[in-house]
Structure 1
Amino acid sequence: MSLAAASDWTSLPLTSANLDTTLAVVAEASYRDNTALISGLESAGFVQLDLEGDGNGTFVAQNAAFDAWITVANGAPAAIIAFRGTDDINYATDGLSAYQGSADAAFWLDTTGYYNLLDAGVSAFDAAVNALGITQVYVTGHSLGGAAAQAYMTEHADDADSRYAAVVFGSLGLSGQSTAIATDARVTAFTDPSDFSNQLGVQTAGLTISFSQGETSLDTGLDLSALISDPASFLTSHSISLFADAANRYDAAKAGIPATDVTTFFTSTLSVGGLTLTVSPV
């Protein structure tokens, strides 16, 4: 696959104003259970980057997967790698049986191991991006996929030719590593205080956006009894659709704030349309 000349990249489907929302959609699309999201992205100017010769942008290795896309950002070609989160749990089943046989759940406390399953695909993605001359790479994922996105960032430093940025949603954090993990200013993480998943591993976000959707009380920490007795209850604070909604409102809030007020905004609490956003640098 080859890209058109730089002069032909005139549309701007990915901008700073819609970055968080768009990456939330791409993260949700990586689950591949909503064909409308895939067709919607393609209609908006996103192209699947086929790494395996099967006609789509999904790379699969055992139970792990990611989607690869190319698009336009700031008038130049850009690539997106979106890591898939846990998708093999039967939430309609009660008790421990919901988790039995889940290959993904086995990596919740070894998210680096999950990412490592995709070594060949990541290498293929990086090689394709380099061959296409793309210098902007955006990284995203939800839940276990968010952790994989963080792992990807630890292996990809910015240099004179390439720039990387990540937005993750409900990430499980990095686990299973033997080395210290540093905070990365290039990573933005959306979290919900009532979602315990962000306490499972080490978070690397330089900017954490914590949002509350009107809960009368916020229970933090792992409620193991509830998780076992009612696995579906986990989704009330962890569903990708909740994070996508928060990202959409966050982008809208940013659009309404003058550039001179950005610093103030990033250390304040803002209520928009019934959604409370508390944004703070780490």
Structure 2
Amino acid sequence: MRSENVVSISDGVLPIRTQPAECEKHGKFDQKVVVILGRELKGGCPECLRAIAAEREAGDKASKTYEQRLSLARKLGDALIPKRFLTRTLDNYQVEHDEQRRALKFCRHYVATFDQIREAGRCMVLIGKPGTGKTHLGAAIANELLHKTSRTAVYRTVGAVLQAIKATFDRKSELSESDILSSLINPDLLILDEIGVSKETPSDFELTTLFAIINGRYEREAPTVIISNLGANELGRAMGDRCVDRLREGGLIVVPFEWESQRGKEGF
């Protein structure tokens, strides 16, 4: 027969009673006692249990914060944004006239709609006179994505890419050419600066390398931002017509920087 005060475990309810108890730290409390198969299991002080839960929650939050910081450190390390441009943002880009305001608006929109940009693989070209803030805005786009979203972004100059690949030809190199190309093809956004900076006819090696990068990203439908001091009609010579064709697909955004150099002014 069942006791009035005891409910069978098979009914889905455990027999529980309370009794007076005392915690050395928090004083008296009502202790819950659960009876299972004739054995008493006594509950602890509610205040102590709350403190333990809070400590565990704080530990979980600290661990999550550490992981987030570690993830961001990896992202920033992989991004390889030069020290000079680590603090470049869209907010500290100096605007003095409508052309600059228009360029900034395009870049803000690119970041704000990046999920759709990424889905479509839509590329952008920042092109025009040197010293007009193109690199500032390119680095700012990368910084915004890295710090405010889960997206990955990489900034490279063409010269640095070519040097990195040439370094892999050394048998002692820990990286392969494939490693370098993958680091440029896989991120959500690649910002490739100093296209055609030498103003000389690019070598076959340079053209082949650029096509491998642009085509690799094209096949993944991953967007690329190109930065160049050349005119729009000179890009084909600097990086190859096939690269330019790949960039155009999906609706290329061309942002001209035709004003005089602002280099040396705050915000550039």
- TM over 0.5: same fold? no
Per residue, is there more helix in 1 or in 2? 2
TM-score by length of 2: 0.29
